[in-house]
Each structure stands twice: as structure tokens, then as C-alpha cells.
Amino acid sequence: MIQILKLQGTDKQLYQLVGPLVMDPQILQYNNGYPFKTGEQFVWYIAIEKHKVTGFIPLNLRKNEHIINNYYAKAENHDAILEALLDAVLTDEEESTQPLVAVVQTLHKDLFVSKGFEITKTWKLYIKMQKVS
């Protein structure tokens, strides 16, 4: 069973939970070498299975939009982890008046489309999408 924990971007518990992951070379490779960032304007959704962190989505709460970017889900049970994380974000964002935007790895396009996102821009490794329904 996947549990989703929600933490503010500067919560000390966040660093304990995701620190070992965001500094792992394999996980940085999953993120195409881009570092993971956080700050006061971030909310992190963290997937936990059997007392271990298996994935996360940081949500950047900017003034004019909320952005999903630089997420991670482990290989085993990958799709279910990512879907559970995305569902948690979408549930929280239902009441938001800000547009929800995602910078998505191309291999995750179908999941985001199935959750009501549309493509707004395409690059080689990523797709920018926005929630429309």
C-alpha cells in the first residue's frame, strides 16, 4: 500500500526523507542530471511503501501558476507510485485558482494525459503540460 505524505519545502523531515535520494547518482540520472530544488514556496508529496520512500513530486507554488517538475518514482511499482503521487497533487489542487502546469518526462506523457493534462510545449526529453479538465 502506498501512503502519501505531504510536507512543506523547508520541513526538516523532508530533508531526512528525500536527502539520500536526491543526492543518489542513479536518481539524478533518472532526472536527466538536473538537481532537485526546494524552498518555502514548495510542497512535497512523498510516496512511502513499507516504511521506505519510493517516490516524490515537489510542487512549486508560484504566484501565477503551480508547477510539477523534477519528480521521481522508483523502478519497482513505478507507474502506481507516480499515479498515487499525481492523484494526491490533483486532489489538493482541485480548489486552487492557479493553473497547474507540469514539466513531464516524455515517457510519462500518457499518465498525465489520462489525468486531464494537455501538451503546451515539447522538447527533446520533456513535455510541458497544463491541467485542463
Domains and CATH numbers, the chain: 3-98 (3.40.630.30)
Give the tens place of pLDDT for each residue, 33-92. Answer: 888 999 999 999 999 999 999 999 999 999 999 999 999 999 999 999 999 999 999 999
Q: What is the per-residue DSSP string for 47-68?
A: EEETTEEEEEEEEEE-SS-EEE
Q: Is 118 helix (H, G, I), strand (E, B) or coil?
A: strand
Cα separation, 55 vs 104, whole angstroms: 15
Cα separation, 20 vs 130, whole angstroms: 30
Q: Indicate whether 133 pLDDT > 70.
A: no
Cα separation, 22 vs 32, whole angstroms: 12
